[in-house]
Amino acid sequence: MHTRIIAAIRKIPRGKVSTYGAIARAAGCPGAARRVAWTLHRSFGLPWQRVLGAGGEIKLRGDSAIEQRLRLEAEGVVFRGRRVDMKRHQFKFPLSKAITSRPKTKRRA
């Protein structure tokens, strides 16, 4: 799961953002938003500034939040108040067959 989360984070291009939950779903682990945060905290060289909370809110506090906002603004990301304009900057992960298909179950007669 760790490698899939890292791969999903690396797919987010410059000037786009995603949420912890969307990354978890793209990695095939819906409901694992906290695992995404854990992975970001323990990994180096990832574009951590492109990962936000639900609704485009920066979840970090203090100097880290200021740094994240400055990095995103340097990439051309526009804020509306305290949140990123998600309509303009949200990265849509391509739908994969594994995520969109439902497991087949046996029908009862």
pLDDT at site 108: 64
Q: How far is Cα 99 from Cα 109, in angstroms, rounded to an integer?
A: 28
SS (H, E, C) 73-90: HHCCCCEECCEECHHHHE
What DSSP designation does 50 have? G
- Reading the chain (109 residues) residue by residue, the pLDDT tens digits are 899 999 999 999 999 999 999 999 999 999 999 999 999 999 999 999 999 999 999 999 999 999 999 999 999 999 999 999 999 999 999 876 544 444 555 666 5
pLDDT at site 106: 61
pLDDT at site 107: 64
pLDDT at site 100: 43
pLDDT at site 1: 87
pLDDT at site 98: 47
Which domains, from first to last, does the chain contain?
2-99 (1.10.10.10)
Taking the complete model, does pTM exceed 0.85, yes or no? no
pLDDT at site 96: 64
Give the CA distances from residue 75 to residues 3, 35, 50, 58, 70, in Å, rounded to whole numbers and listed in that order.
25, 26, 10, 15, 9
Placement of tokens 């990123």 in the chain: 84
